[in-house]
Structures are given as structure tokens and as C-alpha cells.
Amino acid sequence: MMIWKILYNVCIIPLLWCGFHLYGLLNQKARRALRGRKNLFGRLQQELAHLESVKNRIWFHASSMGEFEQAKPIIAELKKRYPEIQVIVSFFSPSGYEHSLSYKLADVVTYIPFDSYFNAKKFIEIVKPSAAILVRYDIWPNHIWILKQRGIPAFIASATLQVKTYRKVPLLRQFIRSLYNSFDYILTVSETDKNVFETFHLNHPVVKVIGDTRYDQVWKRSAESRKRQLLDPKLLENKKVVVVGSSWREDETRLLPAISKLIREIENLLIIWVQHEPTEENLEYLEIEISGNIPAIRFSHLHQYQNEKIILVDSVGILMTLYQYAHAAYVGGGFGSGIHNVLEPASYGIPILFGPKFTNSQEATRLLNEEAAYMGRSEDELYYGLSILLTDESQRKRCGEKAIALVNQNVGATERVLFYIEKVL
């Protein structure tokens, strides 16, 4: 393993450091990540100094908010069973970090430092975790090697590893093998994921299929969201509702023509539109595109509602609750970098539509295979899919029943993860 540590720290880390800082000059999100890491260790020491000394302190790491959703049910159950346990949560991205600062079950929320050897060593020394649980695929080698060196049990929960060309490159394959051999438990989403890990002939970690804890989290959140009422029932009377969730500009340019056509054909159609980033700039873009064609109103102005056809949501954190009102849902990201969370609408028994770039989501693939979702490659296909779901009630119900059945079948991964975590506590 020593050769890999040297190569990684001498060749790769300097390139990553330069690339990250250069990218920060061009990208606002990267700049936020860099600013957020200033004086990281000083802030971390101050926050930990306020905590009592305990036997067990668990470090959870997720890349961003989506991955953290898979950690939440594990944290909640750990805290329920062992209230004295301290939970430290780290993120790579600013979106995950900033949205989780108010997360009540975490004793400390922090960025993970840049993955140099000295940063990783200092981070582990300050946090002093009893165990480390990394979620899905955000694996930083120096942090993992330091955990291994210090005998701290390391897990990957809801682990997945895509089949890529690096498997065919001998040097990269050996590097990946040495990295994953530093873990104690690799708890995979599916049998397919387990088989991929096993192609690396790992000899140290226990590799087991436990499922995806995101199903547990989304089931819990949907149950809680049903208790919230964000819209006046009178506003929804006799309406067919489509919720557009987490849309990007690439989604919107294709979806707007399809929706405009449907609004002309279906008199009682209501669109609740939630952008992935509902900034003033993005909201104004949609308003300009809609202007003159479709009556629209912002969510914050609903006290002035006059039967507008589109509600533009200018609040954050309410998408999950809004899905409960939908007859069908469009989930964004499928025309850009990859589809967002399809399990949220599925947990309400709602049929789903999305764009062609969905292979980053195993859940989307399974929903398609179960005929619980439609995929559209163009505005015509999006129109066709929504039209069927809004005019063929029997088909809509069949799709919705299959969607919620998939969620029900996969609840329970949290309990299986806890079985292995409790072995090391």
C-alpha cells in the first residue's frame, strides 16, 4: 500500500489542489467551498471542546445533501438506541454543509478538509472517532488510510460502485483495490453492487448487501409530510396537479412547451413548479418564459391567487410536502448532470416522468423497469408521457401503485446497517 500512498500524495494531490482552486475562480459553488474551509480546524476544535467526553463518537461523511439523506435514518436510529453517542457529520459540498447546519441530531457539522495527508491526519486526531461511516461513494484516500492506520473501524453504507473503464486499467485497478481493502465493512445497495466490489478481489472488508437506507428516510419523511398542509384545499378543488421538482434550465426549455400545450387541452390543470435552485434570477427566467402565455403566481403570493395555472415556488425545503398534492410528478436533472430524487414522489404512490440522463439513479432505473415511470427524450415525449398520466386514470393509478410498492419492498436497510455498526460499538 505504501507505493500508492506515495504516488497519490506526490502526484495526484498537488494536481487536485491546483484544480480545485482554479475552479474556484470560475465557479461560485467552488468558491463557497473554499471559503467554508478557512480556519476549519480551529472551528472544529472549538465546537468539539464544548462536548462532553464519551466512549463512542461516530463520524459520518457524505458528499452532499442527497447522500446525507441516506445517513439520516442511520443517525436517527443510533441516537434512539444510544442517546449518549456523539455524531460528527462532514460534507464535501457547500450545499450539503449549509443545508445541514441546523440538523438537530448532529453534535457537530463540518466540511471535510482537502485530502492531503497532513489534513486527514489532523482531522482524525481532532475528531477522534470510534467509527467512521461514509455514505455511498465519496471516498477520500488519505482519510481512509489514517483510519486504517489507527485501527478505527470504517464503513461504507449504501455503497455503490459504477462499472467504469478504470477497471480495465491495471494500475488504477490495483489502487482501487488497495483503497477499498482499507475498509472493514462495505454494505452495498444491491447484489449487482456487491458483485462489482468483488471483482476487485478484496480480502479484508466484509461485503454485504443491505439495500438503500434512502427508502427508509423517504418513507419516514413522506409520513411526516402528510401531516403538513401547505395549500388551501379549496385551491385544489377539481384540479389535476403536476408537481415539477428540482428542475434545471435544461429541463425547463423542454418541459415548458409540453406543459403549455397540456394547459390548453386540460382545463383544470395546475402546475406546481419547484426549481432546483429557486434564486431570484432563476425565478425571473421562468416568469419571462411563461409571460403572456400562461397565468402564473409565486407561492409567496398565494393569498392573491386568482386561478393561475402555474405556481412558482419561491421557498426552499417544501418539495417533499408538495408532492402529496400531485397526480403526476416530473423530476428534474434528466437533461443535465443526472436525475434528482425520484423516491420522494414514489413514496406517495405518484407516477413519475424524467429526462434521459437517469443512469446515475438506480431507483429511476427500477421505476422504469417496474413501469412506474416514464422517460422522455424530447418535448414531444414529455408531452406524451404527461398526457397519458393526466388523461388515463387507470394507467395513472397502475403506475402509482407500482411506485409505492417498490418503496415498500425496500424499506428496512437501516436495521441491517445497524446490525454491523453495533458489532464495533
pLDDT in tens, 9-65: 888 888 888 888 887 788 788 888 888 889 999 999 999 998 888 788 999 999 888
The correct CATH number of 222-409 out of 3.10.129.10, 3.30.450.20, 3.90.79.10, 3.40.50.2000 is 3.40.50.2000
CB atoms within 10 A of CB 66: 17
pLDDT for position 166: 57
The string of pLDDT tens digits covering residues 350-409 is 999 999 999 888 899 999 999 999 999 999 999 999 999 999 999 999 999 999 999 999
pLDDT for position 168: 63
The CATH architecture assigned to 37-219+411-421 reads 3-Layer(aba) Sandwich (3.40)
pLDDT for position 362: 83
Residue 76 has, within 13 A of its CA and on its CB side, a CA count of: 15
pLDDT above 90: percentage of residues in the chain:
66
Residues of the chain with CATH 3.40.50.11720: 37-219+411-421
Contact 406, 366 (CB under 8 A): yes
**Mean pLDDT (whole number) for 89-118:** 91
CA 423 to chain centre: 27
The whole-model pTM stands at 0.79
pLDDT for position 425: 80
Integer-rounded Cα Rg, in Å, for the chain is 23
Residues with Cβ within 8 Å of 87's Cβ and at least 6 positions away in sequence, in order, are 57, 58, 60, 75, 78, 79, 105, 106, 107, 108
pLDDT for position 164: 62
- What's the whole-number average pLDDT of the chain? 91
Residues with Cβ within 8 Å of 175's Cβ and at least 6 positions away in sequence, in order, are 4, 7, 8
Residues of the chain with CATH 3.40.50.2000: 222-409
Question: How many distinct helices (H) and strands (E) make up the chain?
Answer: 20, 14
Contact 189, 159 (CB under 8 A): yes
pLDDT for position 5: 80
pLDDT for position 79: 94
**Which pairing describes strands 310-312 and 269-275: parallel, antiparallel, or unpaired?**
parallel
Contact 277, 315 (CB under 8 A): no
Predicted confidence (pLDDT) at residue 251 exceeds the cutoff of 60 = yes
Residue 48 has, within 13 A of its CA and on its CB side, a CA count of: 23
pLDDT for position 176: 85
Predicted confidence (pLDDT) at residue 271 exceeds the cutoff of 80 = yes
Query: What backbone torsions phi and psi does residue 110 show, to the nearest 5 degrees?
Result: -145, 165
